[in-house]
A and B are shown apart, each in its own frame.
Chain A
Amino acid sequence: MTMLNIFLLSSTSLIFIGLYGVLTRKNIVKILLSLNIIETGINLLLVAFGYVENGEVPILTSSESLKNIVNMVDPVPQALVLTSIVIGLGTTAFALGLTIRYYKTHGTLSIDASDEEEVMLNE
């Protein structure tokens, strides 16, 4: 089993664990954790896409390093991952902020709670 396969396997399993968590958890914090797990999985996946076995750092230091360009790891996925980590950070921070408000307004962290009020109004 190559390193690439290990990366792919672990990333997909992370994604599916996260998807399962989002589906089954009722607690908002746990849902957000699951989302973060998905995100980590995706990041790993993206990096794995650019992975080269025994690759080198993709920095052109001299004309010498141009010769090794085939061996270099693809830098674009890494750039993507950096961006997506930042976005993930923003999402999580914002969502946690909302969760605090959710707890204040609903008195619970359960996702089920938000529909009680409307059901009452409909009657």
Chain B
Amino acid sequence: MNSSLFLIIIPLMGAFIALFAKKANRLMAIVITLFMEIFSIIIYLSGKLPVSVEIGGWQPPYGINFVLTPLSVGFIILINLAAIISLFIIRGEKSYQFYSTYLVLLAASNGIVLTGDIFNFYIFSELTAFGITALIAYPKDRKSTGAAIKYLILASTAAAFLLIGIGIVYKTLGTLNIADIASKISLLDPLTLELIIILMLTGIFVELELFPFNMWVPKAYLGGTASVNVMLHGMLGTAGAYTITRILLTMFTVDGSGLLVNVNIANSVIVIALLTILVSEIAAFNEKKIKKVLAFSSMGQMGLIIFGFMIGNEQAIVGAFYLVVANFVAKTILFVLTGEFIAMSGSGNWEDMKGIGRKHPVAGLAFVIGSLSLMGVPFFAGFWGKLGLIQGAINGSAFMVVGIVIVLITAIIEGIYFLKIAHTLFLEKDSDREYLSKARVHSIVIAAILALAIIAIGVKPGLIESNINSATDEILNSTSNYIDIVFPRR
């Protein structure tokens, strides 16, 4: 399984080659990403999972290791899928910088998921921050530069917190290996542990788009092009969801049971998640720029997912995983289509997108399906996530029930603004507005395929049930499913 290193090395090498590849850049990026996707699927299906890969033959905790479990490889597949889609919807020629930074981003986001070492995790998350900042700033205009600077400052500050946390972990436990930390976490005295958790959470919450750490989100989505939006959401967001499962639910849990060691912190995270949901949905309610609406909705979904993970019982975690998948697919549809719509109407306001659904019914329908899934309507993928979440929360404490009421109230707001936008697509076109360009067929095809996937999962959630169950099992029994894989002789 040493070949799993390719998942990081190949894009990094590609990033270097891209400096000289000139016109062949795009082709090369696509080939590399396709290879990665196929390769990760092969790994997933090979039956050798879970496995820990020791780099350079140094055994953990002394050496750096990669951990390949159904959970992590599953996330790798999602990340690379988003990467392929984002490459396909690139509009116009891009210079080598674009592809080079893209490949760095790809390597880094794969690295975040694969690594079993906390300092490595820090490096990779810094690298993703770099990559995505450069990509956001790529259009070189005022909007994107402002957004990039804002994100970079926030991300660097957050990374500082993360690094302090890592330093304290090393000082107190003398190790940087995630599995090793997880098995020794009970040795720490509670105050230090809380300090570490708070510092690390601050570090990852910026990337997780949680309120109030997320002031960069709407601007970043607005500043970036459609393909960068897909990367932000599909690669960074998915990797972020993974860090929750690894950092929070593996490292800092009671005997690897998926419950956070400190109930107070768990509750504070739930409060933050609920705040995020509330703030983002309300902010999106009256927003006119469609990309910002989607950005706010991304934040909301992230809050929902984290809420599900923090509830901590099996149902809720299953629900959260369904939400991860559903949000991934649905939001990708919306970003892909939004890019087309903006190019067509020449305006970022959804009110100017009248009649596009009539002109491209398939695109319009896919948009509706994506929004319905995000709203959690039955027979669409998102519903099973919402159902599991509610189910899990109702079995939890009264606090969780309050949370679920908030979730349902915000679902109303979300429903209103999403369907409002979806319906606008089917309004009659203003006669004085002309479409600037046609929607590209391959974008619509991508959206349509993803929409079919949403319906397939929605009607038959059993399709991905076994994958999600194994992922859930990994979180709920991380001692046997994660720590024992890294340290088999114990």
Contact = CB atoms under 8 A, between A and B. Distances in A.
Touch between A and B in complex, CB under 8 Å?
yes
Contact of A98 (B119, B149, B164, B171): B149
Nearest to A90: B130
Contacts of B156: 35, 91, 95
Contacts of A95: 149, 152-153, 156
Interface string B286-307: 0010000000000000000000
Contacts of B147: 114
Given A35-B156, A105-B141, A84 B163 contact: yes
Nearest to A106: B142
A113 B143 CA distance: 11
A46 B149 contact: no
A114 B167 contact: no
Interface stretch (A37-45, A53-61, A63-71): A37-45
B170 interface: yes
B95 interface: no
A19 B142 CA distance: 27
B145 A102 contact: yes
Contacts of B119: 80, 83
B484 interface: no
Given A31-B153, A42-B164, A87 B142 contact: no
B64 to A, nearest CB: 11
A99 B123 CA distance: 23
B146 A15 contact: no
Interface string A88-110: 00110011001101100110000
Interface of B: 119, 123, 126, 130, 133-134, 137, 140-143, 145-150, 152-153, 156-157, 160, 163-164, 166-168, 170-171, 176, 219, 222, 288
Contacts of A84: 163
Given A31-B153, A42-B167, A117-B142, 8 more contacts: A15-B160, A18-B160, A28-B153, A35-B157, A38-B160, A42-B160, A94-B152, A111-B150
Per DSSP, are chain B's interface residues mostly helix, strand or loop, or mixed?
helix
Interface range, A side: 35 or more
Nearest to A83: B123
A73 interface: no
Contact of A22 (B141, B142, B157, B164): B157
Contacts of A83: 119, 123
A19 B161 CA distance: 10
* Top 5 closest pairs, chain A to chain B, by CB: A114-B146, A105-B142, A49-B171, A38-B160, A46-B167
Per DSSP, are chain A's interface residues mostly helix, strand or loop, or mixed?
helix
Nearest to A103: B145
A91 B130 contact: yes
12 contacts: A15-B160, A39-B160, A42-B167, A45-B164, A84-B163, A91-B156, A94-B134, A95-B152, A98-B145, A98-B152, A102-B145, A111-B150
Contacts of A18: 160
A114 B153 CA distance: 14
Contacts of B160: 15, 18, 35, 38-39, 42
A55 B285 CA distance: 61
A105 B222 CA distance: 17
B142 A28 contact: no
A122 B153 contact: no
A3 to B, nearest CB: 16
A84 to B, nearest CB: 6
A103 B167 CA distance: 36
Contacts of B150: 111, 114
A65 B160 CA distance: 36
Contact of B149 (A91, A114, A115): A114
Nearest to B172: A49
A76 interface: yes
A42 B145 contact: no
A36 B176 CA distance: 24
B145 A101 contact: yes
Nearest to B218: A118
B153 A49 contact: no
A83 B140 CA distance: 30
A35 B134 CA distance: 19
Given A15-B160, A35-B160, A114-B146, A94 B167 contact: no
A113 B147 CA distance: 12
Nearest to A80: B119
B146 A106 contact: yes
Contacts of A105: 140-142, 145-146
Contacts of A80: 119, 166-167, 170
Contacts of B152: 91, 94-95, 98
A91 B219 CA distance: 20
Nearest to B176: A76
B137 A98 contact: yes
Given A15-B164, A35-B160, A87-B123, A101 B140 contact: yes
Nearest to B134: A94
Contacts of B145: 98, 101-102, 105-106, 114
A87 B157 CA distance: 13
A99 B150 CA distance: 11
A78 to B, nearest CB: 12
B164 A122 contact: no
Contacts of A45: 164, 167
A84 B171 CA distance: 17
Given A31-B153, A101-B137, A122-B288, A77 B167 contact: yes
B42 to A, nearest CB: 32
B375 to A, nearest CB: 26
A98 B156 CA distance: 14
